[in-house]
């Protein structure tokens, strides 16, 4: 049971890290679009 919770926590952290990394990679494109408009 504890191992399952640990696995869920680990995948949640991985998903959060992936999402923040994706956000950081998309941020310059959003800024460029805003500047272009």
Digit-coded pLDDT (tens) for 1-30: 577 777 888 899 999 999 999 999 998 888
The tokens for 31 are: 């800024």
The tokens for 22 are: 């994706």
Would you give the distance in Å from CA 31 to the centre of its chain?
18
| pLDDT for the residue numbered 4 | 77
| pLDDT for the residue numbered 1 | 54
The predicted model scores a pTM of 0.54
Distance CA 12, CA 10 (A): 5
What is the overall mean pLDDT for the chain? 86
| pLDDT for the residue numbered 20 | 93
H helical segments located in 1-37? 2-36
Q: What is the b/e burial string over 18-30, where b = at least 16 CB atoms within 10 angstroms of the residue's CB?
A: eeeeeeeeeeeee
């Amino acid at each position: 049971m504890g191992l399952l919770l640990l696995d869920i926590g680990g995948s949640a952290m991985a998903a959060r890290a992936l999402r923040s990394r994706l956000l950081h990679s998309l941020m310059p494109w959003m800024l460029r679009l805003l500047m272009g408009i």
